[in-house]
A and B are shown apart, each in its own frame.
Chain A
Amino acid sequence: MSEDVWAKQDTDPDEIEAAMRGLLFRRHAENEALIPVRVLNLVVIVDRQWRGEISNRLERVGRYQASRTVLCAVEEGRTTLDAVATVHYEEPDAGGIGLVREYVEIDLGPEHLAAIETIVDPVLAGEMPTIAWAPHGHSDAVMRMLPLIDVILLDSDDLPDPLEAFARAKRLFGRAYVVDLAWLRTTPWRERLAASFDLPQRLAALRRVARLEVRHQELSAASGLLLTGWLASRLAWEVEPLVHEGSRVLHGTARRAGGDVALCMRTYDQDAPGLAGVTVTGELGSSLSLQRGDGGLDAEERIFDGPLREWKILGASRGEGGILGEGVRQALLRDPTYNPALEAAQELCPR
Chain B
Amino acid sequence: MAQTIDDLELENPLVEGLERLPVHPTSLVIFGATGDLAHRKLLPALYNLAHEGQLPERFEMIGVGRRDHEHEEFRDTALDSIQHYSRRGADPKVLEGLLNDMRYIQGSFDEDRVYEELGRTLVEFDDQAGRTLNRIFYLSTAPEFFPLIAGKLGAAGLNEVENASTRIVIEKPFGYDLASARKLNAQLLDVFEEPQIFRIDHYLGKETVQNLLALRFANVLFEPVWNRNYIDHVQITAAEDIGIGGRAGYYEGAGALRDLVQNHMLQLLALLTMEPPTAFDANRLRDEKLKVLEAIVPPEVDQVASMALRAQYGPGTVGGVHVPGYREEPGVAPDSRTPTYAALRLHVSNWRWAGVPFYLRTGKRLARKLTEIAVILRPVPHVALQSSGSVGIQANQIVFQLQPDEGVSVSIGAKIPGTRMRIRPVNMEFRYGTSFLSESPEAYERLILDAMRGDATLFTRNDEIEALWGIIDPILNAWDEDTTSSIPQYESGSAGPVQANELLDEGTIWRRL
Contacts and interface: CB of A to CB of B under 8 A. Distances in A.
B435 A99 contact: no
Contacts of B93: 294-296, 316
B388 interface: no
A60 interface: no
B12 interface: yes
A148 B202 CA distance: 42
A340 B1 contact: yes
B14 A96 contact: no
B437 A235 contact: no
Contacts of A197: 12, 14
Contacts of A207: 5, 8-9
Interface string A55-88: 0000000011100000000000000000000000
Contacts of A256: 5
B12 A314 contact: no
B381 interface: no
A195 B54 CA distance: 10
B69 interface: no
B405 A96 contact: yes
Interface stretch (A15-23, A169-177, A216-224, A331-339): A331-339
Nearest to B368: A95
Contacts of B56: 195
B432 to A, nearest CB: 10
Contact of A236 (B8, B53, B98, B437): B8
A314 B22 CA distance: 14
Interface in B5-24: 5, 7-9, 12-20, 22-24
B25 A312 contact: no
Contacts of A329: 437-438
A104 B96 CA distance: 42
Interface residues of B, number: 55
Interface string B15-41: 111111011110000000000000000
B8 A206 contact: yes
Nearest to B25: A199
A295 B130 contact: no
A313 interface: yes
Nearest to B52: A315
B10 to A, nearest CB: 10
Interface stretch (A149-157, A159-167, A271-279, A301-309): A301-309
Given A194-B14, A234-B14, A295 B5 contact: no
Contacts of A199: 24-25, 131
A204 B18 CA distance: 20
Contact of A192 (B51, B53, B97, B130): B53
Interface stretch (A4-12, A31-39, A107-115, A135-143): A31-39
Contacts of B437: 39, 63-65, 325, 328-329, 332
B439 interface: yes
A38 B130 contact: no
B50 interface: yes
A35 B431 CA distance: 10
Nearest to B49: A314
A34 B475 CA distance: 44
B55 interface: yes
A234 B14 CA distance: 6
Contacts of B15: 194, 198
Given A35-B431, A332-B437, A236 B22 contact: no
Contacts of B22: 194-195, 198
A282 to B, nearest CB: 14
B51 A316 contact: yes
B435 A336 contact: no
A38 to B, nearest CB: 6
A284 interface: no
Contacts of A307: 130
B91 A193 contact: no
A201 B132 CA distance: 11
B97 A314 contact: yes
B138 interface: no
Contacts of B431: 35, 97
Interface in A252-299: 256-257, 294-296, 299
A121 B129 CA distance: 57
B18 A314 contact: no
Given A311-B58, A313-B53, A336-B16, A236 B94 contact: no
A295 B8 contact: no
Interface in B56-74: 56-59
Contact of B13 (A206, A299, A311): A206
Nearest to A233: B2
B165 to A, nearest CB: 11
Interface string B263-282: 00000000000000000000
B3 A235 contact: yes
B404 interface: yes
B130 A234 contact: no
B404 A295 contact: no
B130 A316 contact: no
A313 B16 contact: no
A51 interface: no
Contacts of B7: 236
Contacts of A196: 57
A191 B53 contact: yes
A332 to B, nearest CB: 7
Contact of B57 (A188, A234, A294, A313): A313
Contacts of B368: 95
Interface string B97-133: 1100000000000000000000000000000111100
Contact of B98 (A35, A301, A314, A328): A314
26 contacts: A35-B429, A35-B431, A37-B434, A37-B435, A39-B435, A63-B438, A64-B438, A96-B404, A97-B405, A194-B12, A194-B22, A197-B14, A198-B12, A199-B131, A206-B12, A207-B8, A294-B93, A295-B93, A296-B93, A296-B97, A299-B57, A311-B129, A314-B53, A314-B97, A314-B98, A325-B437
Given A201-B131, A295-B96, A316-B51, 7 more contacts: A194-B14, A194-B22, A234-B16, A299-B57, A313-B53, A314-B53, A332-B436
Q: 7 smallest A-B Cβ distances: which pairs?
A: A295-B93, A315-B53, A337-B17, A198-B22, A194-B14, A195-B22, A314-B50
Interface of B: 1-5, 7-9, 12-20, 22-25, 50-59, 91-98, 128-131, 368, 404-405, 429, 431, 433-439
Interface of A: 35-39, 63-65, 95-97, 99, 188, 190-199, 201, 203, 206-207, 231, 233-236, 256-257, 294-296, 299, 301, 303, 306-307, 309, 311-316, 325, 328-329, 332-333, 335-338, 340
